[in-house]
């Protein structure tokens, strides 16, 4: 695996250490899965994963004990930031949009639209929650164990259940 290295006027491939390549191969699917759980967009989740791995590569040793936890937390945080950016962009575009033609036929079935609106509402609520609560929910519902969540968010494993419960309560309150 090679990453592009910048050289004035051209791009040169720089060799990646075997340790980083192993970490990438072991964790890429999980990082994309966490981001996809938040964003529901495969391409955007892959972009988030790429950003997360590049950031880790530039600032951390590939064989660091905290590598997996760092990648999982960064995936959740980066995806939540992307979600918030998408929400801001959507609001800005909606404010500038021309109202749709009332006679235009709707192509999707009503059930598909309702499900899509529910997913959008969940993502909007996540975007309004405090960063730690949103990350906690994103990691848990992406399938991470309490121990993995604790490592990713740098909290005690014995506190994860309580913090998760609080995050779920905050989510429910915000949903109303």
Q: What is the mean pLDDT of residues 16-42?
A: 94
Q: What is the DSSP string of 40-78?
A: --HHHHHHHHHHHHHHHHHHS-TT-TTHHHHHHHHHHHH
User: Using one digit for the tens of pLDDT, what is the confidence trace for 94-143?
Assistant: 767 655 554 444 555 767 766 777 788 888 888 899 999 999 999 998 88
Task: Report pTM.
Answer: 0.61
pLDDT of residue 14: 64
Cα-based distances in Å from 47 to 83, 107, 155, 163:
13, 29, 27, 29
The domains of the chain are located at 2-96+115-175
User: Using one digit for the tens of pLDDT, what is the confidence trace for 43-83?
Assistant: 999 999 999 999 999 999 999 999 999 999 999 999 999 98
User: Alpha carbon 23 to chain centroid distance?
Assistant: 19
Helix, strand or coil, per DSSP, at residue 105: coil
């Amino acid at each position: 695996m090679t990453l592009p290295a910048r050289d004035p006027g051209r791009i040169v491939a720089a060799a990646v250490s075997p340790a980083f390549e192993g970490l990438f191969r072991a964790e890429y699917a999980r990082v994309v899965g966490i981001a996809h759980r938040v964003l529901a967009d495969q391409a955007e989740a892959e972009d988030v994963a790429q950003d997360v791995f590049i950031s880790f590569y530039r600032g951390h040793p590939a064989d660091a004990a905290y590598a997996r936890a760092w990648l999982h937390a960064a995936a959740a945080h980066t995806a939540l930031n992307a979600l918030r950016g998408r929400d801001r962009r959507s609001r800005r575009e909606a404010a500038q949009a021309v109202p749709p033609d009332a006679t235009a036929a709707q192509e999707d079935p009503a059930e598909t639209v309702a499900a899509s609106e529910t997913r959008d509402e969940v993502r909007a609520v996540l975007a309004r929650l405090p960063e730690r609560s949103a990350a906690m929910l994103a990691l848990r519902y992406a399938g991470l164990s309490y121990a993995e969540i604790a490592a990713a968010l740098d909290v005690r494993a014995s506190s994860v259940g309580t913090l998760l419960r609080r995050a779920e309560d905050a989510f429910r309150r915000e949903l109303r």
